[in-house]
Amino acid sequence: MRDRISQDDAANGFLLDGYPRNAAQVEHLDEFLVGRDEALDAIILLDVAREESIARLRLRAEEQGRSDDTEEAIAHRLAIYEKETAPILEVYGPRGIVDNIDGVGSLDEITERIFAALAARGLHVAR
């Protein structure tokens, strides 16, 4: 992550997808950004009910033939998210940078919600 964010094409901003995932990664990211006199502008939380997440992963397994999307694997991933990733919102929430986005709907609808939330923060994202 440090090497990638330090590359020239990230000089005017960057998007982290799925990172940080736990408290230790939050700490490392914060230390790195403080050292660069930078901070995160926004955290996008896609709000999707657990049942919907499971249904999506089952469908993905069927459509893509993914053997890693078994019932056990899905349950394990969701448990890790709930134990390690969801708690990082307690760090970012008080910073006022979390945008909770309804993650149910078409890809276009969800994308528009994300862009609207970023625009409300005065952030411009190239489409």
pLDDT, residue 67, reads 86
Q: How many residues does the chain have?
A: 127
Confidence of residue 119 (pLDDT cuts 50, 70, 90): very high
Average pLDDT over residues 14-31: 95
pTM: predicted TM-score of the whole model, two decimal places: 0.85
- Domains of the chain (ranges, CATH numbers): 2-120 (3.40.50.300)
Render pLDDT for 26-81 as a digit per residue (tens, 0 to 9).
Answer: 999 999 999 999 999 999 999 999 999 999 999 999 999 988 888 899 999 999 99
Average pLDDT over residues 71-95: 94
- Preceding peptide of 20 cis, ω within 30°: yes
DSSP state of 9: G
Pairing mode, strands 43-47 and 98-102: parallel
Assess whether pLDDT exceeds 90 at residue 83. Answer: yes
How far is 64 from 58, CA to CA, in rounded Å? 10
Confidence of residue 84 (pLDDT cuts 50, 70, 90): very high
Q: List for the chain the helix, strand, coil content (%; round to 5).
A: 60, 10, 35
